[in-house]
Amino acid sequence: MDYTSTWLKRFIQTHENLKHAIAGAGAGIASSIVVVPLDVVKTRLQNQGKVKPGALVYRGTAGTLSRIWNEEGIRGLYRGLGPTIFGYLPTWAIYFTAYDYCKAHWGRKYEGTGHEWLVHIFSAMTAGATSTSLTNPLWVIKTRFMTQNDKTPYRYNNTIHAFQTIAKEEGIRGFYKGLGPSLIGVSHVAVQFPLYEKLKAWFAQHESTSGNTGILLASSLSKMAASTATYPHEVIRTRLQNQTVQPHKYKGILHAAKIILHEEGYRGFYKGMPTNLLRTVPSSALTILTYEVIVHRLDVLKNS
């Protein structure tokens, strides 16, 4: 074993929680790079409010991809890649670290009580709220980049320029637009991860779906169920994050929900959802599989 492997082994043995941070960060990078174009499409569709007669609109996944490609080229499909990577690095590192810490801590306390499912729910919600609160500024910037075009009132050259501009023009509150619906969206992980744990255990009992196949199936199905159940908060969050011109059209979560319902009907809350499922289901499966594989590899290294 070379010096680097020996150092990494000792580091993992003495910093157990960092194992989950390393695995989470690696998983986040792998998935974010693959699905950025679909993330751009989903965000454009979410941000598209009531359309005025004669105005150009984004229509569906394929239509939006085609329009962005024709008008903005390959760079348009990868708008927001920088803040997306910068965002996923700490988000998944914080999330998986907090999730595994809470699961281990509360798991010992409630072991054998029959309430293990509550451990998964509370662990997921605590981890989700922690990572969301700490990384919200990066997601505001990511959303702005993905909706940026010649007609938007904001133009950012890069992530640093976006930080400077928002800080100067909108202050600290600008970085936390959409935090409310994002925290409501913590209910997403409260559905996804407990369901994932149950499905993973169930698939592990069957030879044909054990190992990586079971992880992929469990992560895909749990993500699909959670995304469908909690999707409206994403539309509201995107609308709030993109408001820069005063007076703001949406004055809060409930006001935004009321206006969307009045102007666009219930379908307005599900704009971009097919694209979102195309994006998030394989992304989530890749993220969780990568995480599980990295954790396994690090455990092997630690115990070797």
pLDDT tens-digit readout, 148-205: 888 888 899 999 999 999 999 999 999 999 999 999 888 887 888 889 888 988 888 8
Instruction: Read off the pLDDT band of 55 (50, 70, 90).
Output: confident
Higher-confidence position of 144 and 215 = 144
Cα angle 192-106-17, degrees, rounded to a multiple of 5: 80
CA angle centred on 24, ends 21 and 26, rounded to 5°: 110
3-state secondary structure of 231: coil
Closest CA to 254 of 239, 242, 276: 239
Two tokens, residue 211: 């190992």
Hey, what CATH class is 17-303 in?
mainly alpha
Omega prior to 247 cis, within 30 of 0: yes
Q: Does the pLDDT of residue 223 top 50, yes or no?
A: yes
The predicted structure's pLDDT at residue 197: 84
265-301 pLDDT, tens digit each: 999 999 999 998 888 777 777 777 777 787 777 777 7
Helix (H), strand (E) counts: the chain: 12, 0
Structure tokens given for 162: 């976006």
Q: Kindly report the pTM of this predicted structure.
A: 0.77
- The confidence band for 17, taking pLDDT boundaries of 50, 70 and 90, is low
C-alpha to C-alpha distance for 296 and 290, rounded to whole angstroms: 10
Domain ranges of the chain: 17-303
The string of DSSP letters for 15-73 reads -HHHHHHHHHHHHHHHHHHHHHHHHHHHHHHHH--SPPTT-----HHHHHHHHHHHHHH
**Residue 119: count of CB within 10 angstroms of its CB:** 22
What integer best gives the mean pLDDT of the chain? 84
Residues in CB range of 69: below 8 A, 6 or more apart: 76, 77
